[in-house]
Chains A and B, each alone.
Chain A
Amino acid sequence: MKRRFILFFTISLFISGSAFENKVLTLKGSDTMVILVQKWTEVYPDKSVQFQVTGGGSGTGIASLINGTTDICSSSRPMKSAEASQMKQKYGKPPIEIRVARDGLSVYVHKSNMIKALTIKQLGDIFTGKIKNWKEVGGPNHKIILYSRENNSGTYEFFKEHVLMNKDFDPSAQHMPGTSAVVGAIAMDEWGIGYGGAAYTKGVNEVKVSLQKDSIAYLPTEENILNGKYPISRFLYFYLRERPMNEIKQFIDWVISNEGQKVVLDVGYFPTKKL
């Protein structure tokens, strides 16, 4: 009985001891970036570091960073000043922002939709409900069905600020829990229009977007985003509590390097600089 107890005790010591060898990094935040972050953590060459990756929305990630439940927060929108002041109050210094990729917000329509290009103003009017019928933008005579992201999403806030010019969405806009849900819904709905991150385009068509009525409309390709021609583009960020050290610094250096940015291209987003 006593011998069995000693054996059990020593084995449990070994097991618990080995758990301390690997550092576990948590990354929480943007649903837009979650596949990108997962790919990064899979491909990262230093296998002694373990990662925990979760989505939940940019807002959730920032809230976790403030609460201290995550090491790195991924966000598809810049941090608001109210959130940054909360961090300064709690930790004594403002958070650190690192730009890790670029993203274009694509506008999706069904594969059978004939509309090829829209201006920012038309998009704004469609999503606020001013334009209700496809025939007003050159399509067939049918009601437009809107798909949007939930309001905890960085994608939602960015779209609202830059395309809707801070006006409210039409109340009939359906809010889907994630860009892949938006794409899935539009793939089924021939009268639908929606928006999301550029990496999710399986099964739907992207619409070219132009700044004004007479300017050229661009698709969200790498070239158009890097040289700023595609109007709806944004940075994707990592936020940290303090300057990166040790494992976090090595991870972030690798993410910014050419290898890490190649992964960005594979996933469907765009690198911060030309490779």
Chain B
Amino acid sequence: MHSTSKLYKKSKFRLSEMIIEWTIRLTASFSVIVIFLIFIFIFRESGGLIFGTAKELKPKKSTSEKTTDKPEEKVKPEIYNPETGEIAKVKENKKQDISKSSESKSESIWKNIFSDTWQPVGKKPKYGIQPLLIGTFKVTLVSLLFATPLSILAAIYCAFFAKAWIRDIIKPTVEVLAGFPSVVLGFFCLVTVVQGVYNTTQFLQPLCTHIADFISWVIPFSNEWIHSVLTISDFHYSSVVGGIGLGLAVIPIIFTISEDALSSVPKSYREASLALGATESETAFKVMLPAALPGVVAAVLLGIGRAFGETMIALMATGNAALFSWNIFHPVRTLAATIGSETGEVQWGSLHYNILFFLGILLFLVSFIINALTELFVKRYLSKKFQGA
């Protein structure tokens, strides 16, 4: 290292070289800087909540509150009559004098946030994020259950069993699926998938009830809970529909990366396994797949990260009901869809606004943790285990 730096210093100083080097350095670090800035921005915008500086959170002194309210005028828009071009005097509507701020927020805001009802618009706003977290989790789970087997099996097929010309057709086609705008997928789910899922679930409803009865007979005291979780309800929009839509969005990601990982396993593994007498499928599942496991797990984790943050599909296909329920056939409301649909209306700088950015922080943290997991767990542990230290 030292000898190369000495070599650097020996070379002649050229201004153009230095400019080019700095330009490349800046553009390369641009993305890192932007990530930091976004992080700082989100933290700042939710500062009202985290640092307790939001207007609604300031402690109220009851007597002085009344006296300061009176001189503050309630501004109302002026009604313009286009025919005459004059401004009408607005009558004070006595009913609206019952303002929201007169209700004291004696309970802590954090208790409100960790409660189980999300109704942020109303006289007494409730910001419980539990139903949102459960909804996001359910939808991600369903999408992974749907997408992972499909894409990994497709990747194995493409890498080992497909003829070259079939592979040349399948790979680009799945990448076209990656290019679908998520709005189109969401719309497709809204119109088509909903009907299909509904008909199937209505058909399977008696079967599910029997399974729930059996399980609750086997496990004592769980009758009500098992029935609430396993029975198929009559909702058209549910986390199953949203999960299928998300799964469609996630399949190309998992497929492409696993397929690359599987193809890059040295051919000698395969030839050795076949030479020792294993069949093609035994080779694929017991030799090649474990060898490519770091790449496959990284692909699945990336898929999870994508499914967590997907907004449009969740907004259109899940029914957006903030229900606290573990049943996957109930409608859900995901974090991303909440941010997407409520940010348009919210008053800038209000507590609701800060809480929406707090939800953004949660999403950010989750993808951060998943990426960190990918780096640490996959690269170190799995590589060592399956590819030798």
Contact = CB atoms under 8 A, between A and B. Distances in A.
Answer yes or no: are A and B bound together in one complex. Answer: yes
Nearest to B236: A189
Nearest to B348: A63
Interface in A56-97: 56-60, 63, 78-79, 81-88, 94-97
B104 interface: no
Contacts of A59: 344-346
B120 A79 contact: no
B121 interface: yes
Interface stretch (B78-86, B169-177, B247-255): B78-86
A171 B344 contact: no
B119 A169 contact: yes
Given A174-B320, A188-B195, A189-B236, A168 B77 contact: no
Interface string A159-184: 01000001011011111110001001
A152 interface: yes
A151 interface: yes
B324 A83 contact: no
A249 B120 CA distance: 37
Contacts of A153: 345
A145 B235 contact: yes
Interface in B62-102: 74-80, 82-83, 87, 96
A171 B117 contact: yes
Interface range, B side: 35 or more
Given A83-B347, A188-B194, A172 B78 contact: no
Interface range, A side: 35 or more
Interface in A182-217: 184-185, 188-189, 191-192
Contacts of B347: 63, 82-83, 86
A169 B322 CA distance: 10
A95 B78 contact: yes
Contact of B320 (A79, A94, A175, A243): A175
Interface string B235-271: 1110000000000000000000000000000000000
A73 to B, nearest CB: 11
A97 B345 contact: no
Given A57-B344, A188-B236, A96 B78 contact: yes
A160 B76 CA distance: 21
B236 A185 contact: yes
Contact of A174 (B76, B126, B235): B235
Contact of B345 (A63, A171, A175, A255): A63
B342 interface: yes
B121 A172 contact: no
Contacts of B123: 166
Given A81-B75, A98-B82, A175-B321, A152 B344 contact: yes
B309 interface: no
A30 B199 CA distance: 35
19 contacts: A81-B96, A84-B77, A87-B77, A94-B75, A97-B80, A98-B79, A150-B342, A151-B121, A152-B341, A168-B119, A169-B119, A171-B323, A172-B321, A174-B237, A177-B320, A181-B190, A189-B236, A244-B82, A249-B82
Interface of B: 74-80, 82-83, 87, 96, 117-123, 126, 131, 190-191, 194-195, 198, 234-237, 315-316, 319-324, 330-331, 333, 341-342, 344-348
Q: What are the 7 closest A-B residue pairs judged by CB atoms, nearest first?
A: A59-B345, A152-B345, A174-B319, A60-B344, A175-B320, A97-B77, A85-B75
